[in-house]
A and B are shown apart, each in its own frame.
Chain A
Amino acid sequence: SQTIHQWPATLVQPVGSPLSLECTVEGTSNPNLYWYRQAAGRGLQLLFYSVGIGQISSEVPQNLSASRPQDRQFILSSKKLLLSDSGFYLCAWRRTSGIQQFFGPGTRLTVL
C-alpha cells in the first residue's frame, strides 16, 4: 500500500529565516506530487505540482520554491520567510494513471 509522509509536523520560524519542508511517498513509482497551503479560513491553495523528477510547475508566484530531487521526494523551500507564509502545508500525490489525490498529514508553520 502507499503512504505519504511529511515533516516536520509543526514548525515555528522567525521572519527572514529559511524553510525546508519535505514530503515523501512510499509504495508507488512516478507519482504526481503537489504542495498546497491552507491559511486561516480553510481554503486550499495549490502552490506547486510536479509530474516527474526536476519538473516543477508553479501555480502562484510567491516567496516559495519547490524541488523534486528524487522520484518520490518533494521539497518546499524558502530563502526568507514572511509572516504571510504562516499556514498549514499539505503535500498530496496522485498515481500517473489515477484521478484522485491523496494527502499527507501536513505541516503547521508559524512565522513569528
Chain B
Amino acid sequence: AQKVTQAQTEISVVEKEDVTLDCVYETRDTTYYLFWYKQPPSGELVFLIRRNSFDEQNEISGRYSWNFQKSTSSFNFTITASQVVDSAVYFCALSEASGGSYIPTFGRGTSLIVHP
C-alpha cells in the first residue's frame, strides 16, 4: 500500500530564510507519481508540481525547487528566500500507476508560517 509521510507538522521561519519541507513515500509500484500542493488560508488546494518515478531530474521554478531521490524515497520541497505569501499548508501526495485510478495518497501536510 502507498504511504506518504510529512514528519514536519509546522515550520516557522522569518522572511527571506530558506526552508525545506520533507516528504518521504512508500510504494511497491515501479511507476508512480509524486505531487506537491499548496493550501493557503483560503482553503483551495493549488497544484504545484508533479514528478514521474522514471524522471529523477530535480526541478526549479523561481524560488521553488524540488529534490526527488528514489534512493531515499524522498521528494523534498525547498523555498528560497521565503515570503509572507508562502505561508500555507503544503501537502505531498503519491499516485500509483497500477489500476489506472491514480487516486493519490496525501501526507498530513506541513504548515509553513513565514513571519515578516
Which residues does A use to contact B, with CB under 8 Å? 34, 41-44, 46, 49, 88, 90, 92, 94, 98-106, 108
For B50, the closest partner residue in chain A by CB is A100
Contacts of B106 in A (CB 8 A): 43-44
Complex Cα distance, B102 from A41, in Å, reads 24
Q: How far is the CB of B49 from chain A (nearest CB, A)?
A: 9
Q: How far is the CB of A81 from chain B (nearest CB, A)?
A: 20
Q: A41-B108, A42-B109 are in contact. Are A100 and B33 (CB under 8 A)?
A: yes
Q: How far is the CB of B93 from chain A (nearest CB, A)?
A: 8
Contacts of A43 in B (CB 8 A): 106, 108-109
Stretch at the interface among B14-22, B37-45, B62-70, B71-79: B37-45
Which residues does B use to contact A, with CB under 8 Å? 33, 35, 37, 42-47, 50, 89, 91, 95, 101-104, 106, 108-109, 111
Q: How far is the CB of A51 from chain B (nearest CB, A)?
A: 8
Q: A42-B89, A44-B106, A46-B103 are in contact. Are A103 and B44 (CB under 8 A)?
A: yes
Q: How far is the CB of B114 from chain A (nearest CB, A)?
A: 18
Complex Cα distance, B93 from A103, in Å, reads 14
- Choice from B43, B91, B108 contacting A106 with Cβ under 8 Å: B43
Q: A42-B108, A43-B106 are in contact. Are A108 and B43 (CB under 8 A)?
A: yes
Question: How many residue-residue contacts, CB under 8 A, span A and B?
Answer: 45
- Choice from A42, A46, A88, A102 contacting B47 with Cβ under 8 Å: A102
For B9, the closest partner residue in chain A by CB is A42
Contact A99 B43 (CB under 8 A): no
Complex Cα distance, B98 from A94, in Å, reads 17
Interface centre among A46, A99, A100 (most CB of B within 10 A): A100
Contact A104 B109 (CB under 8 A): no
Contact B50 A99 (CB under 8 A): yes
Q: A99-B95, A100-B33, A100-B35 are in contact. Are A49 and B103 (CB under 8 A)?
A: yes
Contact A44 B33 (CB under 8 A): no
Contact A100 B47 (CB under 8 A): yes
Contacts of A99 in B (CB 8 A): 33, 50, 95, 102
